[in-house]
Amino acid sequence: MADNTLWIAALTAGTAVLASFVTSRGTARAARIQADTAAASVETDRLRAARRGAYVDVIEQAQRMGELYWKVTDADQIRDTDARAAALKDLRGRLRDEYASLRHRVWVVDLEGPAPVAEAADALRRATSDNYRALEAMIAGQPDAAQRFNDCYAPFWQSVMGFVDIARDALHNTNVR
Protein backbone atom coordinates (compact mmCIF):
# COMPACT_ATOMS: atom_id res chain seq x y z
CA MET A 1 0.00 0.00 0.00
CA ALA A 2 2.79 2.38 0.73
CA ASP A 3 3.97 2.03 -2.83
CA ASN A 4 0.49 2.84 -4.20
CA THR A 5 0.26 5.91 -1.96
CA LEU A 6 3.53 7.22 -3.33
CA TRP A 7 2.34 6.70 -6.93
CA ILE A 8 -1.01 8.31 -6.20
CA ALA A 9 0.70 11.30 -4.55
CA ALA A 10 3.11 11.65 -7.49
CA LEU A 11 0.24 11.38 -10.00
CA THR A 12 -1.83 13.95 -8.07
CA ALA A 13 1.14 16.32 -7.87
CA GLY A 14 1.86 15.90 -11.57
CA THR A 15 -1.78 16.52 -12.43
CA ALA A 16 -1.80 19.66 -10.28
CA VAL A 17 1.37 20.98 -11.93
CA LEU A 18 -0.01 20.24 -15.41
CA ALA A 19 -3.37 21.86 -14.57
CA SER A 20 -1.58 24.92 -13.20
CA PHE A 21 0.53 25.16 -16.38
CA VAL A 22 -2.50 24.85 -18.67
CA THR A 23 -4.43 27.41 -16.61
CA SER A 24 -1.56 29.91 -16.63
CA ARG A 25 -1.15 29.58 -20.41
CA GLY A 26 -4.89 30.09 -20.91
CA THR A 27 -4.91 33.09 -18.59
CA ALA A 28 -1.90 34.62 -20.36
CA ARG A 29 -3.50 34.06 -23.76
CA ALA A 30 -6.79 35.58 -22.58
CA ALA A 31 -4.93 38.59 -21.19
CA ARG A 32 -3.07 39.02 -24.49
CA ILE A 33 -6.33 38.83 -26.46
CA GLN A 34 -7.95 41.34 -24.12
CA ALA A 35 -4.98 43.73 -24.44
CA ASP A 36 -5.00 43.43 -28.24
CA THR A 37 -8.74 44.09 -28.33
CA ALA A 38 -8.38 47.14 -26.09
CA ALA A 39 -5.52 48.49 -28.22
CA ALA A 40 -7.54 47.98 -31.41
CA SER A 41 -10.49 49.77 -29.84
CA VAL A 42 -8.32 52.71 -28.79
CA GLU A 43 -6.80 52.90 -32.28
CA THR A 44 -10.23 52.80 -33.91
CA ASP A 45 -11.45 55.59 -31.62
CA ARG A 46 -8.34 57.67 -32.37
CA LEU A 47 -8.74 57.19 -36.11
CA ARG A 48 -12.44 58.04 -36.01
CA ALA A 49 -11.75 61.20 -33.98
CA ALA A 50 -8.99 62.32 -36.37
CA ARG A 51 -11.22 61.74 -39.38
CA ARG A 52 -14.18 63.46 -37.77
CA GLY A 53 -12.05 66.52 -37.03
CA ALA A 54 -10.72 66.65 -40.58
CA TYR A 55 -14.21 66.26 -42.05
CA VAL A 56 -15.67 68.97 -39.81
CA ASP A 57 -12.85 71.32 -40.83
CA VAL A 58 -13.68 70.87 -44.52
CA ILE A 59 -17.38 71.44 -43.88
CA GLU A 60 -16.71 74.59 -41.84
CA GLN A 61 -14.38 75.91 -44.53
CA ALA A 62 -16.97 75.26 -47.22
CA GLN A 63 -19.48 77.18 -45.09
CA ARG A 64 -17.10 80.16 -44.93
CA MET A 65 -16.70 80.09 -48.70
CA GLY A 66 -20.45 79.84 -49.16
CA GLU A 67 -20.94 82.93 -47.00
CA LEU A 68 -18.46 84.83 -49.16
CA TYR A 69 -20.33 83.71 -52.28
CA TRP A 70 -23.44 85.33 -50.85
CA LYS A 71 -21.44 88.50 -50.22
CA VAL A 72 -20.30 88.48 -53.86
CA THR A 73 -23.94 88.42 -54.92
CA ASP A 74 -24.66 91.32 -52.56
CA ALA A 75 -21.61 93.30 -53.78
CA ASP A 76 -22.75 92.85 -57.36
CA GLN A 77 -25.86 94.89 -56.47
CA ILE A 78 -23.77 97.98 -55.62
CA ARG A 79 -24.74 100.71 -58.11
CA ASP A 80 -21.50 102.70 -57.99
CA THR A 81 -19.18 101.05 -60.51
CA ASP A 82 -15.94 101.84 -58.66
CA ALA A 83 -17.32 100.75 -55.29
CA ARG A 84 -18.72 97.56 -56.88
CA ALA A 85 -15.35 96.74 -58.49
CA ALA A 86 -13.51 97.43 -55.22
CA ALA A 87 -15.90 95.24 -53.23
CA LEU A 88 -15.63 92.39 -55.75
CA LYS A 89 -11.82 92.62 -55.77
CA ASP A 90 -11.77 92.55 -51.97
CA LEU A 91 -14.00 89.47 -51.98
CA ARG A 92 -11.78 87.83 -54.61
CA GLY A 93 -8.81 88.24 -52.26
CA ARG A 94 -10.76 86.86 -49.33
CA LEU A 95 -11.94 83.91 -51.42
CA ARG A 96 -8.35 83.16 -52.45
CA ASP A 97 -7.38 83.00 -48.78
CA GLU A 98 -10.34 80.79 -47.95
CA TYR A 99 -9.57 78.56 -50.93
CA ALA A 100 -5.99 78.10 -49.69
CA SER A 101 -7.38 77.01 -46.34
CA LEU A 102 -9.87 74.68 -48.05
CA ARG A 103 -7.10 73.12 -50.14
CA HIS A 104 -5.05 72.47 -47.00
CA ARG A 105 -8.02 70.87 -45.24
CA VAL A 106 -8.77 68.70 -48.27
CA TRP A 107 -5.19 67.45 -48.13
CA VAL A 108 -5.67 66.49 -44.49
CA VAL A 109 -8.82 64.54 -45.43
CA ASP A 110 -6.79 62.87 -48.18
CA LEU A 111 -4.27 61.76 -45.54
CA GLU A 112 -6.93 60.57 -43.08
CA GLY A 113 -9.04 58.75 -45.68
CA PRO A 114 -10.78 56.65 -46.65
CA ALA A 115 -10.53 57.14 -50.41
CA PRO A 116 -14.24 57.84 -51.12
CA VAL A 117 -14.24 60.68 -48.58
CA ALA A 118 -10.99 62.09 -49.98
CA GLU A 119 -12.48 62.00 -53.48
CA ALA A 120 -15.61 63.81 -52.30
CA ALA A 121 -13.48 66.46 -50.56
CA ASP A 122 -11.48 66.99 -53.74
CA ALA A 123 -14.70 67.25 -55.76
CA LEU A 124 -15.84 69.95 -53.32
CA ARG A 125 -12.55 71.78 -53.82
CA ARG A 126 -12.87 71.59 -57.60
CA ALA A 127 -16.47 72.86 -57.38
CA THR A 128 -15.12 76.26 -56.35
CA SER A 129 -13.35 76.82 -59.70
CA ASP A 130 -16.40 77.89 -61.68
CA ASN A 131 -17.37 80.38 -58.98
CA TYR A 132 -13.93 81.92 -59.09
CA ARG A 133 -13.90 82.17 -62.90
CA ALA A 134 -17.33 83.79 -62.85
CA LEU A 135 -16.15 86.25 -60.19
CA GLU A 136 -13.19 87.17 -62.38
CA ALA A 137 -15.62 87.76 -65.25
CA MET A 138 -17.77 89.94 -62.97
CA ILE A 139 -14.73 92.06 -62.11
CA ALA A 140 -13.91 92.32 -65.82
CA GLY A 141 -17.46 93.57 -66.43
CA GLN A 142 -18.78 90.75 -68.57
CA PRO A 143 -22.56 91.14 -68.84
CA ASP A 144 -23.63 87.55 -68.04
CA ALA A 145 -20.99 86.94 -65.36
CA ALA A 146 -23.29 87.60 -62.39
CA GLN A 147 -25.79 85.04 -63.63
CA ARG A 148 -22.97 82.54 -64.25
CA PHE A 149 -21.76 83.17 -60.71
CA ASN A 150 -25.22 82.58 -59.25
CA ASP A 151 -25.62 79.43 -61.35
CA CYS A 152 -22.43 78.03 -59.80
CA TYR A 153 -23.76 78.13 -56.25
CA ALA A 154 -26.07 75.11 -56.52
CA PRO A 155 -23.36 72.73 -57.87
CA PHE A 156 -20.98 73.98 -55.16
CA TRP A 157 -23.56 73.35 -52.45
CA GLN A 158 -24.39 69.91 -53.91
CA SER A 159 -20.70 69.01 -53.64
CA VAL A 160 -20.75 70.11 -49.98
CA MET A 161 -23.80 67.96 -49.28
CA GLY A 162 -22.24 65.03 -51.18
CA PHE A 163 -19.14 65.32 -49.02
CA VAL A 164 -21.25 65.41 -45.85
CA ASP A 165 -23.14 62.26 -46.87
CA ILE A 166 -20.01 60.29 -47.73
CA ALA A 167 -18.17 61.50 -44.61
CA ARG A 168 -21.14 60.55 -42.39
CA ASP A 169 -21.24 57.07 -43.92
CA ALA A 170 -17.51 56.63 -43.38
CA LEU A 171 -17.74 57.67 -39.74
CA HIS A 172 -20.70 55.41 -38.99
CA ASN A 173 -19.22 52.45 -40.80
CA THR A 174 -18.10 49.91 -38.19
CA ASN A 175 -15.07 49.01 -40.27
CA VAL A 176 -13.32 52.38 -40.13
CA ARG A 177 -10.13 51.33 -41.88
Mean pLDDT across 1-11: 70
Q: Tell me, what's the pLDDT at 59?
A: 97
**Alpha-carbon dihedral sign for residues 158, 100, 55, 107:** positive
Is the pLDDT confidence value at 94 over 90?
A: yes
pLDDT at 32: 79
CB atoms under 10 Å from CB of 121, counted, come to 28
29 CB contacts (<8 Å, ≥6 apart)?
none
pTM: 0.79
Q: What would the mean pLDDT of 11-30 be, rounded to a whole number?
A: 76
Q: If pLDDT is split at 50, 70 and 90, which confidence band does 176 have? A: very low
Query: What is the sign, positive or negative, of the torsion defined by CA atoms of 157, 160, 166, 172?
Result: negative
The mean predicted confidence, pLDDT, of the chain is 90
Radius of gyration from C-alpha coordinates of the chain: 32
pLDDT in tens, 119-140: 999 999 999 999 999 999 999 9
